[in-house]
Amino acid sequence: MVQHSLANAFDRERNVIGKTRKKYVYSCGCGSLLIVAIILISVSLKKLTSTELGVEYDTWTKQLDDAATQGGLHNGPPGFRFIKFPSTQITAEARDTCVSRDGLRVNFQVSYQYLMPEVWIVAAVKKYRDFSKWGTIVEAAGISAIQHSCSAFNITSFQTLRNLIQIAMYDELKLKLEGTEGTTIENHDGVYALAIALQLKNVDLPSEYKAAITDKQSAKEDIALAKNQRNQELTKANTKLLAAQEEKKKILDKAANDANVTLTEADLIAQQTTFAFAAERATIEQAIENFNLDTEGVLSYLANQLYAKAPTLRATIREPAKISRKDEL
């Protein structure tokens, strides 16, 4: 009886242990399945931010999706990943040296913006693998475009035509990044990037050129100063010449006026003298007629008239001079 009881107790204990083991195994199996499911779900979900584009890549089958995916939470084969690119524009800075058309080196600083279009992203991944390598190629193409643009302009243009140079740089950048007009995805001759804008921030000309420009400017200023001084001296000389000409005119006018006065006075004196002689002649003729004088008588008459006009007359006359003509009258 005792043995039978012990056997029953042993059976019950064994049944309890068996059930416990089954529950444990079942629980472990469910837990493992849950863990596997969680792992599978976690490796099958990938997130892209709102500023990202991605191309799905299956790391096991080495397959690349044929279209880009925009921001959000996306599922895929277990273990897949996204090859990500920014969906917003990217800014690049370029500091380098280029050679002008006339062979001088110019230091430049340029900033430009570019973008990865969604339609080109798959082709870019196939050619460049990822964003890092693609970005390196794009920036190398940008430097090449800028340097090629520099070679189209003389050094003087970098001072006077900077806006035109900036436009030329942007056009060349657009050609290098986007390819020639009419290019397709299959035969694309660019780097699968869309050029947005370009800014030429700074241009540093060679020190020798700056010195030459300074010397040239100084020479221009010296020439301008010399021309100004020459004009001033010419003005002074012209002023003196005008003054001399005016003085000459005054002298000539005065001389002409004095000559006219002298001529007038001489004419008046001549008229007076002529009138006096005429009056004297008339008087002599009247005396000749009245007194019936001959030549000696006329001389005596004139001598008497002379003596009559002189208040005091003193004369020293040597012999045989004849003073009196009394007898002839």
The secondary structure of 170-222 as a DSSP string is HHHHHHHHH-STT--STT--S-S-EEEEEEEEEEE--HHHHHHHHHHHHHHHH
Whole-number average pLDDT of the chain: 80
Q: How far apart are the first and last CA of the chain?
A: 236
Res 132 pLDDT > 70: yes
- CB neighbours of residue 121 within 10 Å: 23
d(CA 53, CA 297): 155
The pLDDT confidence band at residue 40, using thresholds 50, 70 and 90, is: very low
The more confidently predicted of residues 8 and 199 is: 199
Model pTM score = 0.55
Per residue in 258-279, pLDDT tens? 888 888 888 888 888 888 888 8
